[in-house]
Chain A
């Protein structure tokens, strides 16, 4: 069972916007950076967001990240069928001295 809680699935139509939440605690999200990853079927994860809200070079601005307190959110606008994937939030946990992954959220673009 993941300490970072994500919804198992979200869905939206092409062109629409979706948000994926990630809930944690003061020992992880509350006091450490959050990153987000996209995993397309059969491939390795890909970094989408680092340092809570920053996009690495090459990641389109359709992807955004935010953090407030002990929760983080990934936003995706202008949804495309190619965005169908599993999305994971990640944060260091200072109490556990361990990296935590959220359980993952499957995005379906209807």
Chain B
């Protein structure tokens, strides 16, 4: 079964750091573009970052310089290193796979709360 499972969320103080993980099963993660998408409670979906098959990387402007996307083939996993966290980064973070020019498989999400 094709599946994505996120982990690593939690409560962190403003200015703190978290590393989110997304473990893939049933497919080879490095054979797909992969994305992170977030959703604040009661709000819409917001794209955060993407890494392409060729290693090209893209970020939402407001997270550039603070977030780093990466992947590890040996662990078939995607990561999002989040530094200098702000209250506005509080959200449920999803990882998603690209196929058919769309985000065809999504994880269940991991919650990040930035608060003092």
Interface residues in chain A, defined as those with a beta carbon under 8 Å from any beta carbon in chain B: 2, 33, 35, 37, 39, 44-47, 49-51, 54, 56, 86, 88, 90, 96-104
Contacts and interface: CB of A to CB of B under 8 A. Distances in A.
Nearest to A88: B45
Contacts of B37: 45, 101
Contacts of A50: 100-102, 104
Interface of B: 35, 37, 44-47, 50, 58-61, 94, 96, 100-104, 106-109
B100 A51 contact: yes
Contacts, number: 63
A67 B44 CA distance: 22
B45 A104 contact: yes
A75 to B, nearest CB: 17
Contact of A103 (B44, B60, B96, B106): B44
A90 B103 contact: yes
